[in-house]
Amino acid sequence: LCTILFAGVLIPVLMKYVLGANEAIPGFVEIFKRILSGSIDQFSNCFHLWYIIELMKCYLMLPLLQMVCTKEAHGTKVRRLLLIIGFYAGVLIITKDLLFVQSLGLFSYMPITISMWYLLLGYEMRVFIESHGKSLKGVIGGLMLFVIGTVGVFYYTYVKDYQINGLITQTYYHYGFIFVVASVIGLFYAVSQIPFKDTHKWITTIGGTTFGVYLLHPVVYSVIWHLGIEKLIPVIGLKLFLLLFVLLTFVGSVVGILILKWILKFIVDRKNRLKHQNQPHQ
């Protein structure tokens, strides 16, 4: 519900006041309908909010995820069957289209959403790691898989994509592309295999701190741009300007998320205190 409200408020604000969209601003009901259907094609200036759409799908499928993300035999069989189906529908088909069907409209179909497939894959990796433990070989193997996946994406983006389309696009950065899947699995597996005592704690802390940063990027860089930062280009040069712009956007987004989380924590703590005060004393 919080995600729906967040999207219903954020999308119109972004389109109207921050990004300066000239198109008609959809109402909350229309946004809600598009979120449930997964159709955000008309949110051209807010396409990055696909993140919220995927979160909504995962929340709606939470009862199923709770049934299959278990170590019980029945749940394990169903989870692995879904992983196989998802790999075929969300990875092999997408990869085939990317490599052999040169079209930019490839991603409108997918029987199992790729985000839920990654959730199931993450749980399966957790079960595997818990049963096999950590090792230096795991770190090396994960890094090798990450390098192979990264090189594959680099090759198809800068060689195939540029030669065919005449420009560099994000066509091969799709999460269903086999090389992207390989790089993601390799990186997370390598990090999980680091033989440090508090590795999991560090990862959880970093993930909890930066969760939601991506959603604030358009707001932050729009504000920075409106402040006239482009005037620095003649002074420091384009390359240094781009580096500074990216750094300010990331830092500003992290600070914004920390402020929002502090506000949320303040509201929750205050609510809990009031609830405790209103309880009858024995």
DSSP 232: G
Higher pLDDT, 105 or 203: 203
Nearby residues of 101 by Cβ (< 8 Å), 6 or more positions away: none
pLDDT at 105: 40
Please give the share of the chain, as a percent, with pLDDT higher than 90: 6
pLDDT at 107: 41
In angstroms, the CA 119 to CA 142 distance is 19
pLDDT, tens digit (0-9, with 9 covering 90-100), for 81-103: 888 887 877 677 777 776 765 44
Higher pLDDT, 153 or 10: 153
Cα end-to-end span (Å), the chain = 36
Q: Give the total residue count for the chain.
A: 282
Higher pLDDT, 161 or 143: 143
Query: Residue holding tokens 């741009």?
Result: 225
pLDDT at 29: 61
Compute φ and ψ for 265, nearest 5 degrees.
-65, -40
Residue 108 · residue 37 · CB < 8 Å: no
pLDDT, tens digit (0-9, with 9 covering 90-100), for 254-280: 888 888 788 878 888 887 787 777 766
pLDDT at 145: 94
pLDDT at 106: 39
pLDDT, tens digit (0-9, with 9 covering 90-100), for 101-136: 544 443 444 445 777 888 888 889 888 888 888 888
Instruction: Judge if pTM exceeds 0.75.
Output: no
Q: What is the mean pLDDT of the chain?
A: 75
Residue 221 · residue 55 · CB < 8 Å: no
Nearby residues of 34 by Cβ (< 8 Å), 6 or more positions away: 26, 40, 42, 43
Q: How is residue 208 written in tokens?
A: 């909890």
Nearby residues of 134 by Cβ (< 8 Å), 6 or more positions away: 192, 193, 194, 195
